[in-house]
Amino acid sequence: MDPYKYRPSSAHDSSFWTTNSGAPVWNNNSSLTVGTRGPILLEDYHMVEKIANFDRERIPERVVHARGASAKGFFEVTHDISQLTCADFLRAPGVQTPVIVRFSTVIHERGSPETLRDPRGFAVKFYTREGNFDLVGNNFPVFFVRDGMKFPDMVHALKPNPKSHIQENWRIVDFFSHHPESLHMFSFLFDDVGVPQDYRHMEGFGVNTYTLINKSGKAHYVKFHWKPTCGVKCLLEEEAIRVGGSNHSHATKDLYDSIAAGNYPEWKLYIQVIDPDHEDRFDFDPLDVTKIWPEDILPLQPVGRLVLNKNIDNFFAENEQLAFCPAIVVPGIYYSDDKLLQTRIFSYADTQRHRLGPNYLQLPVNAPKCAHHNNHHEGFMNFMHRDEEVNYFPSRFDPVRHAERFPIPPAVLNGKREKCIIEKENNFKQPGERFRSWAPDRQERFIGRWVEALSDPRVTHELRAIWISYWTQADKSLGQKLASRLNVRPSM
């Protein structure tokens, strides 16, 4: 018998119970005991194996993005951007690439309600002919902090109090009072879009700045935008309470039921592009994730469409074990010096190795669908079938060679070692512009949410004054209204 002919699969199920090693189990109800009332024997291998497997059913949940739902489908190029990138999956209109997409909430636990005010993850894994490309983003175009050094502290502040395990506003406004760069993100989170109606009616953004490189080696900075064809819809507070009270998994159910009914969710992919030679022309740093690129200056360019037309086959295998990493790119797409992206390049793969093991990319949902070859060897849970005798490089017994060289950004780097902040902070302009673009009733709801957050009994007078000063610098009328409601004078 060929031991590699059959891999573990429910398609090869026996008609009777067996152990993991295939031995028949004649009684799956009773433990082996000394007599009818005696103690259980340790030699009851089936019982020990069954309990031991059950004890280990739960893998560590994600530190962030623990609550999520996934679906499969395809991405189709609709517009030619081959002048910008040599990425094979973007080579021409009509080209289709299989994908899997995971939507998620960020801060709360795996079983938490999907109606909580929280950013949403929007992660797409493209299974291309040149390897996988993971575009890992959120439903907002900006982020709280611009340097990954702050990320663990940021998450700790947003997570529940380690003493009470309750998420508390005073901890959030305390931490972010030290980081006025967060105002722009809060102009999204505390806006009406802070609670999406479901995953189908939600935008997605790559957030970070990537680089597109064409065949001649010319590089352009790029931001990615997903726009739902069914429009953006959100839940206001009373609606969120009603929906979450009836079903805490409403968004997961909506996604699954819509696909099952043939109502396939679809998004259009757009990009914004900047020539790196022009990055100093703006009053902000284009690589700063707390900033948007103004669409009136840098218009959206259509690229393709994403269609989700197949539900996952198993939640654990294709949602819990699904793993993304912004470092996973393909020729024609590369990183930028975006400080947050540079941290994510390491952190995502590192957390997956902790959560799923060093060979997590061998799991079917994460493995590339193209031919691949390397000498990464053995380790925990390695199930790659290998019969080669040569596991080193180079070798005259193995003809494997380097791939053809592909272009990466050609910029020459120089500078001294130092820890520094982005010079063009400009923390207040874009949040103020966003607030002024809203209708009065939307502005009023935003103000009400901030009044509630700053009314936490443990938020000090100093903290309220700091936040009112920040929002006053973004928009004078906004600061005045907050000060009036909270009976605080801004300390500019």
Query: Which amino acids are annotated catalytic?
Result: 65, 138
Measured CA to CA, the distance from residue 104 to residue 110 in angstroms comes to 10
Q: Which residues contact 432 (CB under 8 A, 6 or more apart)?
A: 473, 474, 475, 478
Measured CA to CA, the distance from residue 190 to residue 154 in angstroms comes to 17
82 CB-contact burial (10 Å; exposed 0-12 / middle 13-18 / buried 19+): middle
The identity of residue 402, as a single letter, is H
Measured CA to CA, the distance from residue 132 to residue 372 in angstroms comes to 11
In Å, what is the CA distance from 463 to each residue of 446, 457, 476? 18, 12, 18
Instruction: Confirm whether residue 392 is marked as ligand binding.
Output: no
Give the 3-state DSSP-derived string for 280-323, with helices as H, strands as E and coil as C. Answer: HHCCCCCCCCCCCCCCCCCCCEEEEEEEEEEECCCHHHHHHCCC
457 CB-contact burial (10 Å; exposed 0-12 / middle 13-18 / buried 19+): exposed
Specify whether the CB–CB gap between 195 and 389 falls below 8 A: no
Specify whether the CB–CB gap between 138 and 121 falls below 8 A: yes
Structure tokens at 337: 């010096």
Specify whether the CB–CB gap between 354 and 227 falls below 8 A: no
Q: Which residues pair with 302 in a beta bridge?
A: 270
Q: Count the residues in the chain.
A: 492
Structure tokens at 103: 């939507």
- Provide DSSP, 422-484: -S----SHHHHHHHHTS-HHHHHHHHHHHHHHHT-TTS-HHHHHHHHHHHHHH-HHHHHHHHH
Where is the binding site, in residues? 348
Where is the binding site for heme, in residues? 348
